[in-house]
């Protein structure tokens, strides 16, 4: 038992490794045509970067000489850094095979750039590749100098961008850049895994492609092992393929470069194993097609000696075939086919296990069947009776030659038996609908036909109960049966009959016998006020509120207040009148005013009262100082 368990575990691990080296997508011909169109448009761009990446992927012809004529102008107008502009100009000049020489000032700038200190690995990258594009000599002294400068920069700046450009530079320096290989693992451990299926670096396609391309170039130049495993290569490839919808020359160029880099690693390169077609096998010709190619859709080189398939039914888990040999297609050597006609596969879903050399992949296919209508009956009868229903048989694809009639006291009944055309057995389908469409207004309503225990589909509609669904719209309706399923190849819509439906009533909008009547007027009703206290209580309360004022006057009389000493001046009258007006305003606010109206009146009163009061106090203070 232990030995069996160990062998089973080893088998699972081998299966996982095989499957891990396959991807389920490749760059299709349609996508490649779109890429070419974008590159051709990029040559006409005013963006120097776009021109460079487009030129790197378009063959140099006489037509491209037109782009050469405008390169200098595009270079002068570019807002990029000088070392970037030099790189894109010299690179595009070389890619396009421009007949004229590169401007002297650009050539001199590139020469001098190799002698001065660079501030980043990106700058070294651009300067070095600009020199290569100009075929400038780069001796060991220059390589040693660049290697030391790069090593110093990577100690200070170990960002992903810095490491990626550093790997690409180190690959050009040979042994002088060997130190950078020790940083490759440091870079790849920073990759983020997505859903357990993809690996990418923060920064997206540009950074991911930069690091992958640079790391593989470096390991190749130093004759070192591949920097990642086969499983990691598959996950990176899956990410790159997920970005196949890029729209810019730069994005497409670096995507294709990364895929070509991975495809060139024979020991770890993933291949694409997927269905050729939509995975729907027709009953007349159930040809299984499997595409086995690299990630760019090209046949594998060397070609596979044999591709086998094992087919198992998902419903019964029974094997339909085991390790049948697929045959290469004459039209496309990357497509392998096998006609399942001799196996006579029944309708259903199947699991297909593909083995192609050291690669293994599981696929899913549907073998389609055909449905036929064994019988169909339709009729109209009373809603509360079954015996009175008169049924009419209709043969498939024909229409009942008599028009049915139904009113609100009746129901429409339909029953049909569907069967598999090959076996003749009753068949259940995913979709079985009955559609009623008004002949004039084209209004449609769809009902679901339910299957009973005998797999017969039934539809029953009580006209009176469904009146609201039809908007009480009487008239002639056509009845159609709609049958569909993912596993049948002849889904259909069948016009069965016409039925004249009369509902018990119609909406006012649908008949002139019931003209519109005005709706009753809506009158707002306020809440009934709460019961007030008796008048005696109110008067008593008011008197108690005024009592302190009366008490004040009495006390003033007892104290013999010297009213004659009141100063008869404009400021004194204004102050006391203003103060009294403010108090009166507060009383009115309590009785009837709202807050906003009160503030509007209070502001001018308060202003007058303040000015008069200030003047009055100044006069009183002056009199006191004289005394």
User: Domain locations in the chain?
Assistant: 44-138, 158-269, 271-367, 371-509, 554-626
Q: State pLDDT tens for residues 109-149.
A: 888 888 888 889 999 999 999 999 988 888 888 888 888 99
- Candidate from 35-49, 50-64, 554-568, 579-593 with smallest mean pLDDT: 554-568
Question: Coil, helix or strand for 230?
Answer: helix
**E strand or H helix at 359:** strand 359-367
Q: How far, CA to CA in Å, does 72 sit from each of 14, 90, 100, 172, 581?
A: 57, 10, 11, 28, 85
How many CB atoms are closer than 10 A to CB 518? 5
Of 5-19, 384-398, 583-597, 601-615, highest mean pLDDT: 601-615
Residue 70 has pLDDT above 90, yes or no: no
Same CATH topology for 271-367 and 371-509: the answer is yes
pLDDT category of residue 290 using cuts at 50, 70 and 90: very high
Q: How many CB atoms lie within 10 A of CB 180?
A: 26
| pLDDT at position 584 over 70 | yes
- Largest Cα separation within the chain, whole Å, is 134
Q: Residue 330 has what pLDDT?
A: 87
Q: Has residue 376 got a pLDDT over 90?
A: yes
What pLDDT does residue 14 have? 36
Please report the pLDDT score of residue 8 as a whole number. Answer: 35
Residue 112 phi, psi (nearest 5): -70, -30
* The pLDDT value given to residue 288: 92
Question: How far is 368 from 280, CA to CA, in rounded Å?
Answer: 7
Angle ∠(530,534,537) on CA atoms, nearest 5? 115
Tell me the C-alpha to C-alpha distance, in Å, between residue 367 and each of 299, 312, 323, 493. 27, 12, 19, 22
Residue 5 has pLDDT above 60, yes or no: no
Name the DSSP class of 304. P
Of the pLDDT bands very low, low, confident and very high (cuts 50, 70, 90), residue 274 is very high
Half-sphere exposure of 335 (CA within 13 A, CB side): 12
CA distance 191 to 184: 12
pLDDT 10s digits, 166-212 = 999 999 988 888 999 999 999 999 999 998 899 999 989 999 999 99
Q: Who contacts 389 (Cβ-Cβ below 8 Å, separation ≥6)?
A: 379, 380, 381, 382, 411, 413
pLDDT of residue 201: 94
- What confidence tens digit (pLDDT) does each residue in 90-118 have? 999 898 888 888 888 988 888 888 888 88
pLDDT at position 17 is 38
pTM of structure: 0.69
The Cα–Cα gap between 281 and 320 comes to: 15
* Structure tokens that stand for 502 in this block: 């009369």
- Closest alpha carbon to 476 in 445, 507, 443, 499: 499
- Which pLDDT band, with edges at 50, 70 and 90, does 506 fall under? low
Average confidence (pLDDT) over 319-328: 91
pLDDT at residue 239 in the model: 95
Separation of alpha carbons 134 and 527, rounded Å? 93
302: preceding bond cis by omega (within 30 degrees): yes
Dist CA 602 CA 87 (whole Å)? 77
Tell me how far apart the alpha carbons of residues 157 and 161 are, in angstroms, rounded to a whole number.
Answer: 9
- Of the listed ranges 228-242, 276-290, 474-488, 552-566, the least confidently predicted one is 552-566
The dotted CATH code for 271-367 is 2.60.40.1220
**CB of 466 closer than 8 Å to CB of 474:** no
pLDDT digits (tens, 9 = 90+) for 574-583: 888 888 899 8
Give the span between the Cα atoms of 130 and 127, in whole angstroms: 5
Tokens 């809440």: give the residue.
527
The whole-number pLDDT of residue 537 equals: 83
Pick the closest to residue 453 from 422, 486, 428, 488 (CA basis). Answer: 428
User: Length of the chain, please?
Assistant: 627
| Span 473-480, average pLDDT | 94
**The pLDDT of residue 525:** 75
Q: What is the DSSP string of 107-141?
A: HHHHHHHTTSPPSSHHHHHHHHHHHHHTT----HH
The CA distance from 370 to 361, in Å, is 29
| Residue from 393, 388, 389, 432 nearest 413 by CA | 389
Q: What confidence score (pLDDT) does residue 62 get?
A: 62
pLDDT tens readout for residues 194-203: 988 999 999 8
Q: Does domain 371-509 have CATH number 2.60.40.10?
A: yes
Residue 10, pLDDT above cutoff 70: no
Q: What is the pLDDT of residue 61?
A: 66
Please provide residue 431's backbone torsions phi and psi, each rounded to the nearest 5 degrees. -135, 125
CA–CA distance, 23 with 301 (Å, rounded to integer): 17
How confident is the prediction for the chain on average, in pLDDT? 86
Give the pLDDT confidence score for residue 2 in this predicted structure: 38
Task: Extract the tokens encoding 146.
Answer: 């660049």
Using the predicted structure, report yes or no on whether residue 9 has a pLDDT greater than 50.
no
Question: What would the pLDDT profile of 329-364 be if each residue is shown by its tens digit?
Answer: 888 889 999 999 888 898 999 999 999 888 889 999
Tell me the three-class secondary structure of 264-281, residue by residue.
CCCCCCCEEEEECCCCEE
Out of 19-23, 445-449, 530-534, pick the least confident: 19-23
Contacts of 358 (CB under 8 A, 6+ apart): 18, 21
**Distance, CA of 344 to CA of 363 (rounded, Å):** 20
């Amino acid at each position: 038992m232990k030995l069996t368990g160990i062998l089973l575990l080893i088998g699972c691990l081998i299966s996982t490794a095989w499957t891990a080296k396959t991807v389920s997508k490749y760059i299709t011909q349609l996508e490649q045509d779109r890429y070419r169109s974008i590159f051709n448009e990029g040559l006409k761009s005013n963006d120097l970067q776009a021109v460079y990446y487009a030129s790197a992927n378009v063959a140099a012809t006489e037509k491209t000489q037109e782009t050469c004529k405008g390169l200098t102008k595009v270079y002068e107008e570019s807002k990029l850094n000088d070392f970037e502009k030099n790189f894109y100009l010299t690179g595009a000049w070389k890619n396009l095979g421009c007949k004229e020489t590169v401007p002297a000032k650009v050539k001199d700038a590139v020469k001098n750039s190799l002698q001065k200190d660079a501030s980043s690995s990106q700058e070294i990258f651009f300067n070095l590749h600009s020199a290569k594009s100009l075929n400038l000599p780069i001796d060991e002294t220059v390589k040693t100098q660049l290697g030391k400068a790069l090593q110093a920069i990577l100690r200070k700046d170990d960002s992903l961008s810095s490491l990626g450009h550093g790997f690409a530079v180190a690959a050009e320096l040979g042994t002088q850049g060997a130190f950078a290989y020790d940083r490759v693992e440091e870079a790849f451990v920073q990759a983020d895994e997505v859903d357990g299926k993809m690996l990418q670096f923060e920064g997206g396609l540009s950074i991911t492609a930069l690091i992958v391309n640079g790391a593989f170039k470096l390991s190749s130049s130093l004759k070192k092992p591949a920097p990642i495993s086969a499983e990691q290569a598959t996950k990176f490839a899956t990410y790159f393929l997920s970005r196949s919808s890029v729209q810019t020359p730069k994005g497409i160029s670096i995507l294709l470069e990364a895929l070509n880099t991975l495809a060139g690693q024979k020991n770890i390169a993933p291949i694409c194993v997927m269905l050729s077609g939509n995975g729907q096998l027709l009953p007349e010709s159930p040809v299984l097609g499997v595409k086995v190619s690299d990630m760019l859709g090209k046949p594998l080189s060397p070609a596979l000696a044999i591709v086998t398939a094992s087919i198992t039914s998902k419903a019964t888990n029974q094997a339909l075939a085991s390790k049948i040999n697929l045959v290469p297609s004459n039209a496309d050597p990357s497509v392998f086919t096998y006609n399942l006609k001799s196996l006579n596969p029944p309708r259903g879903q199947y699991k297909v296990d593909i083995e192609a050399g050291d690669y293994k992949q599981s696929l899913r296919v549907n073998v389609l069947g055909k449905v036929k209508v064994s019988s169909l009956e339709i009729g109209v009868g009373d809603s509360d009776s079954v015996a009175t229903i008169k049924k009419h048989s209709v043969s498939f694809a024909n229409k009942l030659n008599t028009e049915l009639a139904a009113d609100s006291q009746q129901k429409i009944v339909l029953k049909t038996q569907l069967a598999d055309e090959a076996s003749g057995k009753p068949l259940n389908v995913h979709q079985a609908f009955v559609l009623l469409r008004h002949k004039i207004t084209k209004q449609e309503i769809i009902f679901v036909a339910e299957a009973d225990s005998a797999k017969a589909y039934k539809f029953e509609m009580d006209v009176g109960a469904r009146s609201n669904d039809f908007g009480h719209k009487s008239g002639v309706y056509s009845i159609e049966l709609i049958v569909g399923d993912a596993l049948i190849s002849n889904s259909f819509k069948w016009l069965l009959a016409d039925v004249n439906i009369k509902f018990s009533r119609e909406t006012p909008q649908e008949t002139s016998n019931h003209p519109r009547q005005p709706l009753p007027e809506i009158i707002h009703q306020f809440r009934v006020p709460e019961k007030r206290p008796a008048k005696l209580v109110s008067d008593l309360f008011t008197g108690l509120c005024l009592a302190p004022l009366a008490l004040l006057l009495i006390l003033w009389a007892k104290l013999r207040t010297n009213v004659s000493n009141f100063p008869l001046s404009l400021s004194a009258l204004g102050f006391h009148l203003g103060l009294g007006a403010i108090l009166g305003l507060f009383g009115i606010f309590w009785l009837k005013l709202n807050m906003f109206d009160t503030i509007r009146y209070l502001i001018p009163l308060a202003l007058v009262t303040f000015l008069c009061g200030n003047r009055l106090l100044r006069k009183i203070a002056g009199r006191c100082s004289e005394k």
